[in-house]
């Protein structure tokens, strides 16, 4: 009996060591990316003629539109503000020479997809970036104190990913090539108290993407979920860039270099290191009341010091802990 227990413990220990070894190998791929699996310059253009980006009016979506246009693709930009789309589209065409098509759509609504489908007819779409997203409470807060924007949040953060993927994936399957990038968040890597609803929607995007990659990998399609932490965008009130807080353009440029590293990436080396450090914190510590209070206080102070946001926002009552919804797209 004792011998069986010893063998069982050895097996468990070996599996734990193997798990950490695999994590280390994945992590070091970021350091050795260009030696490990460098992408040819023609990679993105080889996927197809057009790239479709949701939430493309500003922030990360705008940065993806610019960067993919620089890499030789024509761009379909989808967002809700027509004037902003027209302005950005003109800038991209003048800067890159690529063709840009715009589609006005509000992803908090559920009746927009037939119009999008009609506008995409006949295009050889090689890349889809499901970027549009909504962050409905700027400060961490308890679930019952969050704004009542549940349906909008689900439409924007979940339905948009599922329905846009369904619109475009079939043609990729027929051509047996394509790239789908789904923007999740570091908040979706594990349950995130005081941000429970947003965290849960982003966890859905992560699980959905990883499952789809298993289904369609053998058909020549890359489906990758991107889980960044802090990015300076209008949705995050333009946090001041730092080692951790990346500018949208630099983040996007770096993240595109990681599309060959697997079905999931934080998008940049700094966020990958941060994710591994957070993973080392035992869950009982992370979910303790004391730790959550520290997170709330530090987060609030960080936002106050580093975001370009009007001071009156921070004069909200402590019990509320939120302001208006923030919508990228």
pLDDT digits 0-9 by tens, 84-130:
999 999 999 999 999 999 999 999 999 999 999 999 999 999 999 99
Distances (CA, A) of 193 to 19, 84, 151, 282: 27, 34, 20, 15
In 3D space, the residue among 228, 208, 226, 211 whose CA is nearest the CA of residue 164 turns out to be 208
Q: Torsion over CA of 124, 71, 227 and 322, rounded to 10 degrees?
A: -90
Please report which helix (H) or strand (E) contains residue 181, including its range.
strand 178-183
Q: Which residues pair with 79 in a beta bridge?
A: 104
Residues classed as catalytic? 198
Instruction: Give me the CATH code for the 41-328 domain, please.
Output: 3.40.50.720
Give 301's pLDDT tier (boundaries 50, 70, 90): confident
Give 29's pLDDT tier (boundaries 50, 70, 90): low
Cα 270 from chain centroid (whole Å) = 15
> What's this model's pTM, rounded to 2 decimal places?
0.83
Average pLDDT, the chain: 84
Enumerate the domain spans of the chain.
41-328
Task: Provide the residue count of the chain.
Answer: 329
For 266-287, the pLDDT digits (tens) are 998 889 888 888 888 888 888 8
- For residues 287-314, give the mean pLDDT: 66
At residue 34, the 3 state secondary structure works out as helix
Give 15's pLDDT tier (boundaries 50, 70, 90): low
Give 9's pLDDT tier (boundaries 50, 70, 90): low
């Amino acid at each position: 009996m004792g011998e069986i227990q010893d063998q069982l413990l050895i097996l468990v220990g070996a599996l734990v060591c193997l798990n950490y070894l695999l994590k280390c190998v994945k992590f070091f791929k970021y350091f050795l990316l260009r030696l490990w699996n460098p992408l040819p310059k023609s990679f993105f253009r080889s996927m197809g003629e057009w790239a479709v980006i949701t939430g493309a009016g500003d922030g990360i979506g705008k940065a993806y539109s610019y960067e993919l246009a620089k890499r030789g693709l024509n761009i379909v930009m989808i967002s809700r503000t027509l004037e902003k789309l027209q302005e950005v589209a003109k800038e991209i065409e003048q800067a890159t020479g690529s063709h840009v098509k715009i589609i006005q759509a509000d992803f908090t609504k559920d009746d927009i997809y037939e119009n999008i489908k009609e506008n995409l007819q006949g295009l050889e779409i090689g890349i889809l970036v499901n970027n549009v997203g909504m962050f409905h409470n700027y400060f961490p807060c308890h679930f019952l104190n969050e704004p009542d924007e549940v349906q909008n949040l689900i439409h924007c953060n979940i339905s948009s990913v599922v329905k846009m993927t369904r619109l475009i994936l079939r043609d990729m399957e027929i051509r047996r090539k394509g790239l789908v990038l789904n923007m999740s968040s570091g908040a979706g890597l594990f349950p995130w108290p005081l941000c429970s609803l947003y965290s849960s929607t982003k966890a859905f995007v992560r699980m959905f993407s990883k499952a789809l990659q298993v289904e369609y990998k053998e058909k020549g399609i890359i489906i990758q979920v991107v889980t960044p932490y802090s990015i300076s965008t209008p949705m995050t009130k333009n946090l001041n860039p730092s080692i951790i807080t990346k500018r949208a353009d630099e983040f996007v440029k770096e993240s595109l270099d990681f599309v060959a590293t697997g079905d999931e990436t934080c998008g940049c080396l700094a966020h990958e290191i941060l994710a591994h450090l957070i993973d080392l914190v035992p869950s009982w510590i992370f979910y303790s009341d004391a730790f959550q209070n520290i997170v709330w206080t530090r987060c609030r102070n960080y936002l106050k010091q580093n975001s370009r946001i009007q001071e009156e926002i921070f004069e909200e009552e402590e019990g509320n802990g939120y302001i208006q919804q923030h919508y990228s797209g």
